[in-house]
Amino acid sequence: MKNSDKNKFNPAQIIQDIQFFGEFGGVNPSISDSATYTFMKAKTMLDTFEGNTDGCYLYSRHTSPSNHYLSMAMAQMENTESANVAASGMGAITPVILQLAGSGDHIVSARTIYGGTYAFLKNFVPKFNIETSFVDITDLQKVEEAIRTNTKLIYCETLSNPLLELADIEALSKIAKKYNIKLVVDNTFTPLIFTPANLGADVVIHSLTKFINGTNDTVGGVICSTTDFINTLKNVNDGASMLLGPVMDSLRSAQILKNMRTLPIRMIKHSQNAQYLAENLEKDGVKVKYPGLKSHPQHELFKKMMNPDFGFGGMITLDLKTGEMATEFMEKLQEKNVGYLAVSLGFYKTLFNAPGKGTSSEVPEEEQAKMGLSDGLIRMSIGLDFDMENTYKKMKQTLQEVGYFDKQLS
């Protein structure tokens, strides 16, 4: 699957071409170490409050030079007009939802999404009289049927957590446009691989905590969208990002901007390693789900939607049938230093956890089984291992040790 069509959107080249110099000619932009900013004229300050001045900084909750650099870089990578970074992924997701929906409104959301987002929609926004219908996002008819006159947005993840289901962004965008509502897409699992805005998404969100930063030393988030929508979020009078205040610290945004430079080569390596592992485990008869396998139900759709060159991503799931076997397997893998038993993803080391049923209790039990959401499901974020053959051998041996292959015979 190599498509080197030069006219295709090329986010790796975009990242390489981003050039911000420091104020003293530094090869990295200087870090802004200020919460507030001076004005030469009082009038300019008033204009800035009203959002009428470009290039003037008012107060760092609104934006800072360092946050502005990272936001611009993210907007370019996601091919949107503008962007605004946030202190965490949830600090990006929650203002978007609260900006687009208010009392009496309705949201259509994918039923398998990040646990925090699910909890926010299910348990938190009802306090503001906002209702959410959770649907199978791969069933476009169900999505359309769930839309009501008071629906304000469709919410989904490009590649879903934890089941690795792919949302057909182009088709969902057509539905959203038909009903004049917004399509909001969390692209955290698949940076560079997908560019949802090119497929019609109105708002694209990332948890920068994961692949984009890649070093698991900070949380961060970003909202990428039109200049209009980003300005609405930052409005001093009624902007959810401005008023709820989930602002990223300048030091952190400077760090993430530097780490972002290596994102293209990291994504390629994550994908290569995950592809190698998934293919070999599948050959061994292990129940493995990976979008780069022909056995993945949306393998063809993935190929149709993806940007070339970055592979099928670093996330795979294994189904070990029982929760006990999954637990034993993960603890042994950690003992052998294959990876860490930890939530989160996009790290240079492999991370694994068993997401269980906690976040998808909305889905009836029998449907959970059909979806493949079993107690023994392990989600793995494959690391940047240099010798993936060695990692694969260790995993296979560990599967033998926990009796995975015995069980299959019986």
Ligand X SMILES: *Cc1c(COP(=O)(O)O)cnc(C)c1O
Minimum CB separation from ligand X for residue 114, in Å?
3
- What x/- string results for residues 167 through 206 when contact with ligand X is judged by CB under 6 A? -------------------x-xx-----------------
Site for ligand X in 325-354 (CB under 6 A): none
Among the residue ranges 112-120, 290-298, 312-320, 327-335, the one whose residues contact ligand X (CB under 6 A): 112-120
Check binding of 218 to ligand X (CB under 6 A): no
Minimum CB separation from ligand X for residue 219, in Å?
4
Q: Which residues, at least 6 apart from 60, have a Cβ–Cβ distance to it below 8 Å?
A: 32, 34, 35, 36, 67, 247, 250
Q: Name which of 32 and 188 has its Cβ closer to ligand X.
A: 188
Take residue 336 and report the two structure tokens written for it.
């052998």
Minimum CB separation from ligand X for residue 65, in Å?
23
Take residue 222 and report the two structure tokens written for it.
């970003």
# binding residues, ligand X (CB under 6 A): 16
Judged by CB under 6 A, the residue of 61, 68, 182, 210 near ligand X is: 210
Name the strand (E) or helix (H) holding 171.
Answer: helix 169-178
Minimum CB separation from ligand X for residue 128, in Å?
20
Q: Name which of 132 and 188 has its Cβ closer to ligand X.
A: 188
Check binding of 209 to ligand X (CB under 6 A): yes
- Rounded Cα distance, 43 and 307, in Å: 47
- Rounded Cα distance, 97 and 74, in Å: 20
Residue 155: how many CA atoms within 13 Å on its side-chain side?
A: 27
Check binding of 84 to ligand X (CB under 6 A): no
Instruction: List, as one string, the DSSP characters of 202-235.
Output: SEEEEETTTTTT-SSS---EEEEE-HHHHHHHH-
Judged by CB under 6 A, the residue of 219, 333, 338, 351 near ligand X is: 219
Check binding of 85 to ligand X (CB under 6 A): no
Minimum CB separation from ligand X for residue 163, in Å?
12
Minimum CB separation from ligand X for residue 34, in Å?
25
Check binding of 90 to ligand X (CB under 6 A): yes
- Rounded Cα distance, 253 and 248, in Å: 7
Q: Which residues, at least 6 apart from 179, have a Cβ–Cβ distance to it below 8 Å?
A: 147, 151
Q: Strands 288-289, 315-319: parallel, antiparallel or unpaired by DSSP?
A: antiparallel
Q: Name which of 218 and 391 has its Cβ closer to ligand X.
A: 218
Check binding of 221 to ligand X (CB under 6 A): yes
Judged by CB under 6 A, the residue of 88, 109, 132, 133 near ligand X is: 88
Three-class DSSP category at 350: strand
Q: Name which of 11 and 89 has its Cβ closer to ligand X.
A: 89
- Rounded Cα distance, 67 and 61, in Å: 10
Q: Strands 182-186, 106-110: parallel, antiparallel or unpaired by DSSP?
A: unpaired
- What x/- string results for residues 123 through 162 when contact with ligand X is judged by CB under 6 A? ----------------------------------x---x-
Check binding of 207 to ligand X (CB under 6 A): yes
Per DSSP, 314 falls in state S
Among the residue ranges 84-92, 126-134, 147-155, 328-336, the one whose residues contact ligand X (CB under 6 A): 84-92
- What x/- string results for residues 38 through 77 when contact with ligand X is judged by CB under 6 A? ----------------------------------------
Q: In what order do the strands lie in the sheet with 151-157?
A: 82-86, 221-225, 203-207, 182-186, 151-157, 106-110, 131-135
Q: Name which of 219 and 257 has its Cβ closer to ligand X.
A: 219
Minimum CB separation from ligand X for residue 343, in Å?
8
- Rounded Cα distance, 35 and 408, in Å: 60
Q: Name which of 162 and 264 has its Cβ closer to ligand X.
A: 162
Find the angle CA(150)-CA(234)-CA(109) to the nearest 5 degrees.
Answer: 35
Amino acid at 348: Y
- Rounded Cα distance, 10 and 195, in Å: 10
Q: Which residues bind ligand X (CB under 6 A)?
A: 88-90, 114, 116-117, 157, 161, 186, 188-189, 207, 209-210, 219, 221
